[in-house]
Chains A and B, each alone.
Chain A
């Protein structure tokens, strides 16, 4: 089996690494490159770069950032935010990205998921879903960093995305994001039971126990941001705690 992946998620606005709560109220943390390098050196398994305001302004500015990161960070990198076309993907891959995460443009044009998967392979096409709970057992898909509702049901959209060729799902709970109160476990469990592709749980990680809990619901990978950016826990300690709970992770010495 593959190990459960521990992923650092870096939300970016312009030249800055930022962090919000419920994807809003963004605070500046520092330099994305410096944080990326530091997490790499501490043994993070993957990086996710998200341009938070890309869709809003209709731009895509992460290429240069990725190019710079790829100079000295040698782990998989997923890039999202403002990816609207096959050409956008080709450009990001040329800059050193391994996968792209698509949300807003996929909702507007589901065919884009298939186009990207056909051209670059499913492994490259990560469907990013921002989910808000709207009933005890129902979640709705949001776009534009949690700002716009779509009326789509998360579970239906996840199933459709997988059938269109998405190779992975980045599942962000807007409700839990930035709260440090743990992942939306029902959400992750419902989606992992529905789709056969890997699911990255995102939003709410405040302690190693939260990671243990969400892996128990079937998540293949755990995205973390706040806990690393604010140095609330060291990656090595998180890894050791998760491992001690019986979850297989990459050992890094």
Chain B
């Protein structure tokens, strides 16, 4: 039997590519939009493109925010992508202050990177950047990146804000953007998130999604 991944559909962004990529990795995809749907879920993916506050409003309005927290408390895996990763944190400073899901301690901040010689650098950060191991880590074993090699790890980013976890150990991978180490993959227990788009990152992205789909 195929692994079933429940993808949360809350009206933001295009789910088609995520769905196709998960199916490519052997998953059966179920789009879910009500708290009821999460009760029997065994693997959940939180996608997202757009503004943090709008997305949280959508999740709050449907009661999905509490349902996600209850799901996570059950110990089953949750994977957030892009904005879906940023929502895992405590709060965001995008257009004022908004509360997040609070599953990973930290905040979401505007990228204020400078170039290596101090010049301003383009925001949004768009394009392929390589993943690097943060200083607190010696391997990616046991994470969604366990099949990824650092020398061949460029993945596709498009974002203006970045997650800043307050616990260094929650950073699984960074990418260097100008003078700033941007959190690329964050994780805490059964919750993890990727700032980039694995569904748009070719073979490297697919190998991550496959790790998530096939994890036991």
- Interface positions of A (Cβ within 8 A of B): 1-3, 5, 40, 43, 45, 67, 70-72, 74-76, 93-98, 120-124, 167-168, 196-198, 220-221, 250-253
Contacts and interface: CB of A to CB of B under 8 A. Distances in A.
Contact of B50 (A94, A95, A121, A198): A121
A171 to B, nearest CB: 15
The secondary-structure label for the interface of chain A is loop
B14 A5 contact: no
A3 B154 contact: yes
Contact of A98 (B14, B120, B122, B157): B14
A196 B14 contact: no
B57 interface: no
Question: Closest 10 CB pairs between A and B?
Answer: A2-B127, A250-B154, A250-B128, A93-B14, A96-B16, A123-B158, A3-B128, A96-B17, A76-B200, A2-B129
B178 interface: yes
A76 B124 CA distance: 15
Nearest to B127: A2
The secondary-structure label for the interface of chain B is mixed
Interface of B: 13-14, 16-17, 20-21, 24, 49-51, 115, 120-122, 124-129, 151-152, 154, 156-160, 176-178, 197, 199-202, 205-206
Contacts, number: 96
Contact of B177 (A1, A70, A98, A250): A1
A252 B129 CA distance: 12
Nearest to A4: B127
Given A3-B127, A74-B24, A43 B202 contact: yes
Contacts of B154: 3, 250-251
A251 B124 contact: no
B151 A168 contact: no
A58 B159 CA distance: 33
B20 A167 contact: no
Given A1-B178, A3-B128, A75-B202, A70 B157 contact: no
Nearest to B13: A93
Contacts of B24: 72, 74
A123 B126 contact: yes
A176 B20 CA distance: 37
A230 to B, nearest CB: 24
A71 B20 contact: yes
Contacts of A253: 152
A120 B17 CA distance: 16
B128 A98 contact: no
B158 A3 contact: no
A210 B176 CA distance: 28
Contacts of B178: 1
10 contacts: A1-B129, A2-B125, A70-B20, A93-B14, A96-B17, A98-B158, A121-B49, A196-B122, A197-B122, A220-B126
Contacts of A96: 14, 16-17, 20
Contacts of B201: 74-75
Contacts of A94: 14, 16
Given A74-B21, A120-B49, 17 more contacts: A1-B121, A2-B128, A2-B177, A3-B128, A45-B127, A74-B200, A74-B205, A75-B201, A94-B16, A96-B17, A98-B14, A98-B17, A98-B200, A121-B49, A123-B124, A251-B152, A252-B202
Nearest to B153: A251
User: Which of B115, B176, B197, B202 has most chain A Cβ within 10 Å?
Assistant: B202
B14 A167 contact: no
Contacts of A121: 49-51
Contacts of B125: 2
Contacts of A40: 202
Contact of B126 (A2, A75, A95, A251): A2
